[in-house]
């Protein structure tokens, strides 16, 4: 999971505390593991924010290409 987080993190370094907090949000049943249901449930609640961030990233990349 950590390599995925590094790839999508555009705002700087994620601390271990940040990763732990995210994991806690994913791991609804507290089992210490995130199954596909927990992961997709978490993501389904992030739809609006996901698209806002996605649009911002697209704009940043367009500006970078122009430089």
- What is the token pair recorded at 7? 């790839």
- pLDDT score at 31: 93
pTM of structure:
0.47
pLDDT exceeds 60 at position 3:
no
Query: For residue 35, how far is the Cα from the chain centroid?
Result: 16
Each residue's pLDDT tens digit, 44-64? 887 788 788 888 888 887 777
Averaged pLDDT, 31-48: 85
As a 3-state breakdown, the chain gives helix, strand, coil percent values, each rounded to 5, of 70, 0, 30
Q: Cα(2)–Cα(16) distance, rounded to whole angstroms?
A: 10
Q: Cα(47)–Cα(43) distance, rounded to whole angstroms?
A: 7
Say how many C-beta atoms besides its own lie within 10 A of residue 26's C-beta: 16
Averaged pLDDT, 20-32: 88
């Amino acid at each position: 999971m950590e390599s995925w987080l590094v790839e999508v993190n555009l705002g700087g370094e994620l601390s271990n505390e940040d990763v732990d907090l995210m994991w806690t949000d994913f791991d609804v049943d507290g089992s210490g593991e995130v199954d596909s249901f927990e992961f997709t449930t978490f993501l389904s609640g992030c739809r609006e924010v996901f698209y806002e961030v996605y649009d911002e990233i697209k704009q940043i990349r367009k500006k970078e290409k122009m430089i």
